[in-house]
Amino acid sequence: MAGKLQQRDKEMFHKCVAAQLSKDLARAKVYANECAEIRKIAKIVLTSQLALERVIIRLQTIEEFGEVLVQVAPVMDVVKETRGRIAGIIPEVALELEDVNTMLQDMSLEAGEVETHGDAVGSISDEAVKVLQESSVIAEEMMKEKFPEPKMSNSIVVSEGGEPAGIEELVIQYIREKRGKLSLSKCAAELGVPVQRVKSILAKLADEGKIEMI
């Protein structure tokens, strides 16, 4: 699911840029809004993934050391909260998590644990809250790597002279996407500017120390 969302975001991102370069701002806004929605879902998926990985590690600890009475309650809280978050996004996984939570409850009862907070609606332990918060922070960092911020979507405006404002940022982004290998003609064609303009931008960026030409 995370991989599909990343691919979908990339498609919408490129369509957004293309729409702006062709001065179709209405479609650009549609694509930009779609990117925003995709990223909201992606963050939930990544956060849930990380939280469940923590659950797996904790269950392995329980299996090895048998600290069921102390460890199972926060694990169940994390599973329960994660199930609620992804119920509308990945329902089949939510159903599996419901089965897992039922199994953990049975195991907890067999071990003699008495739950004092398990039936409280919306109430989870402090440790479970901490796990989810930490997972969310890590997910934010992963989002920055996997879903680069479309700064250009907010800054590109076609000027009266016909050249996109924020063109320097576009050139830098193009270089990043091509991993440092730049074709002047292709870059100029994709950005809708003359080749000579791309050359002057590259010279300016090099003078400012933003890129290094070798």
Q: What is the pLDDT along the chain (214 residues), one digit of tens a residue?
A: 888 888 888 888 888 888 777 778 888 888 888 888 898 898 888 888 888 888 888 787 777 666 655 567 778 888 888 888 888 888 888 888 888 888 877 776 665 554 444 443 445 667 777 887 888 888 888 887 777 665 443 333 333 444 444 677 778 887 887 777 778 888 887 777 788 888 888 888 888 887 877 7
134, 47: one domain: yes
The DSSP letter of residue 161 is T
Q: Verify that 114 and 90 share a domain, yes or no.
A: yes
Q: Domain for residue 97, yes or no? A: yes
Contact by Cβ (8 Å): 5, 41: yes
- AA letter at 185: S
The reply to whether 214 falls in a domain is no
Asked if 132 and 63 sit in the same domain, the reply is: yes
Query: Same domain, yes or no, for 11 and 114?
Result: yes
pLDDT of residue 47: 87
Find the distance separating the first CA and the last CA of the chain, reported in whole Å.
40
Residues 85 and 33 both lie in one domain: yes
With contact defined as beta carbons under 8 Å apart, do 53 and 161 qualify?
no
Last residue of a domain, one of 123, 146, 169: 146
Q: Cβ distance 24 to 2 under 8 Å?
A: no
Q: Answer whether 191's CB lies under 8 Å from 21's CB.
A: yes
Judgement on whether residues 110 and 133 belong to the same structural domain of the protein: yes
Best CA proximity match to 128, nearest among 55, 192, 21, 203 = 55
Residues 28 and 94 in one domain: yes
Would you state the pLDDT for residue 104? 78
54 and 117 belong to one structural domain? yes
pTM here? 0.53
Please say whether the beta carbons of 189 and 170 come within 8 A: no
Is 28 contained in some domain? yes
Residue tagged 């290998």 (tokens): 181
For residues 64 and 57, what is the distance between their CA atoms, to the nearest angstrom? 11
> What is the residue range of 117's domain?
2-146
Spatial distance between the Cα atoms of 50 and 46, rounded to a whole number of angstroms: 6
Please check whether residue 47 is in contact with residue 139, taking contact to mean a CB–CB distance below 8 angstroms: yes
Q: Are residues 83 and 182 in the same domain?
A: no
- How far is the C-alpha of 95 from the C-alpha of 44, rounded, in Å? 17
Domain count, the chain: 2
Asked if the structure places residue 120 within a domain, the reply is: yes
